Amino acid sequence: MFSLDELKQTQYFQDVREEAKLENKLETVPRLLALGLTVEQVAEALKLDIEQVRQIKNNNE
């Protein structure tokens, strides 16, 4: 059985963690746009591609 420290070192755990970080960023996009930030500002702030932010914006309109 893996200990917690060993589990954290697995590629699977790291992949899941990165996916969760990305999901949180993508969920934040509409809130930042609603505050009046531009697509470019949101992309820069969250370190996302501008196209990703545009897609989210278009899906929420």
> pTM of the entire structure?
0.79
Give the integer Cα–Cα distance in Å for 49 and 39.
10
pLDDT at 7: 81
pLDDT at 61: 85
The count of domains in the chain is 1
pLDDT at 44: 98
Question: Around Cβ 7, how many Cβ atoms within 10 Å?
Answer: 11
Range of the domain at 40: 4-59
pLDDT digits (tens, 9 = 90+) for 2-61: 788 888 889 988 999 999 999 999 999 999 999 999 999 999 999 999 999 999 999 998
Q: Which structure tokens are listed for 45?
A: 């702030």
- CA 22 and chain centroid, separation: 3
